Amino acid sequence: MPPTDRRYPDPAIRILDPRFNALRLPSASVECLYQGARWSEGPVWFGDQRALLWSDIPNNRILRWDEESGEVGVFRKPSNFANGNTRDRQGRLVTCEHLTRCVTRTEYDGAITVIADKFDGKPLNSPNDIVVKSDGSIWFTDPPFGINGFYEGEQAEPQLKPSVYRVDGQSGEMTVMIDDFIGPNGLAFSPDESILYVVESRSTPRTIWAFDVIDGGRKLDERRLVIDAGPGTPDGFRVDIHGNLWCGWGMGDAELDGMRVFTAEGEAIGHIDLPERCANVCFGGRHRNRLFMAASHGLYSLYVNTQGIAGS
């Protein structure tokens, strides 16, 4: 599919603060790579395959975009209403599943291993977004969104509080890290992993909070507010090597649709306009300088003058 605009610089790339100039490429434009999903989420880049996977939740499938051919095919169907995806430090796909209410790992031979499905003997709600730290620990959010109805899973009553969990990379032990958020959603670490950022997506307004990671990465210190989204709707996001937050954005006013860029201090510096709300993003390409944006019905990309954090 053609780029959204043929002009350079692309007017869809809006500068909200001069500091964003250093992160943009004047001769790069937003490209629409695919249309045809019902609700796109959870993009993850596989450099060894030169391919991107992402979830189409209501269609119960994971799609695959091939960098060389530009073709899109079905990677997995049914996907158990998969949502967030990432890779572990061995390069394996790790996925949040709504239907099975669990986190899984896809082994090299295609076998599926369940990483987490219960806590204190009770089923998880509907794991949503996920990140793997350099020590191998797996961190994920578990709001009830996937069990609220039959569109993104199967309706059920939650038995656990919405929480953020940590699964130890060696022992597999699960720990509740946060249990007082209204709708914990996207999460990501700072470049040095000293800070964990988490979206509180059912607060009014939506917010992004930061926690200092302490005790060898096993505990979080008190939270502090980084971003008050106002009318915006942060969802999934990623952090670049300079500590900037690249956030899926949209809903409400169409001028909010797309993705918004913030400094580590929470200052909005840039916005990428899309014709639909963006739910989640990731960096990919040979040098991790291609931003992929999973929006409502489509998949978009933009080359940028920064890089995503390795392994995120």
CATH number at residue 243: 2.120.10.30
Is 4 a residue whose pLDDT tops 70? no
Is 4 a member of any domain?
no
What integer pLDDT is reported at residue 1 of this predicted model? 44
Is 242 a residue whose pLDDT tops 80? yes
Q: Is 235 a catalytic residue?
A: yes
**pLDDT tens sequence across 258-304:** 999 999 999 999 999 999 999 999 999 999 999 999 999 999 999 99
What's the whole-model pTM score?
A: 0.97
Is 152 a residue whose pLDDT tops 70? yes
What integer pLDDT is reported at residue 96 of this predicted model? 98
Is 5 a residue whose pLDDT tops 60? no
| Residue 185 marked ligand-binding | yes
- Which of 2-11, 129-138, 140-149 has the least mean pLDDT? 2-11
Q: What is the DSSP string of 184-204?
A: EEEEEE-TTSSEEEEEETTSS
| Residue 157 marked ligand-binding | no
Is 311 a member of any domain?
no
Omega before residue 205 within 30° of 0, cis: yes
In DSSP terms, which residues pair with 197 in a beta bridge? 188, 210
**pLDDT tens sequence across 68-101:** 999 999 999 999 999 999 999 999 999 999 999 9
Q: How many domains does the chain fold into? A: 1
Measured between alpha carbons, how far is 7 from 28 in angstroms, rounded to an integer? 9
Residues of the chain with pLDDT > 90, as a percent, come to 94
Q: Which of 88, 142, 235, 257 is catalytic?
A: 235
Is 7 a member of any domain?
no
Query: Measuring CA to CA, which residue among 113, 99, 94, 93 is closest to residue 58?
Result: 99
Is 3 a residue whose pLDDT tops 60? no
- Domain encompassing residue 96: 13-303
Backbone dihedral region of 269: left (phi > 0), alpha (psi from -120 to 50 degrees) or beta? alpha
Is 89 a member of any domain?
yes
Is 5 a member of any domain?
no
Q: For residue 52, give Cα distances in angstroms to 103, 112, 233, 293.
A: 20, 19, 24, 11
Is 309 a member of any domain?
no
Is 266 a member of any domain?
yes
Is 310 a member of any domain?
no
| Residue 128 marked ligand-binding | yes
User: What order do you get walking across the sheet with 163-167 strand by strand?
Assistant: 130-132, 138-142, 163-167, 174-178
| Residue 68 marked ligand-binding | no
DSSP state of 27: T
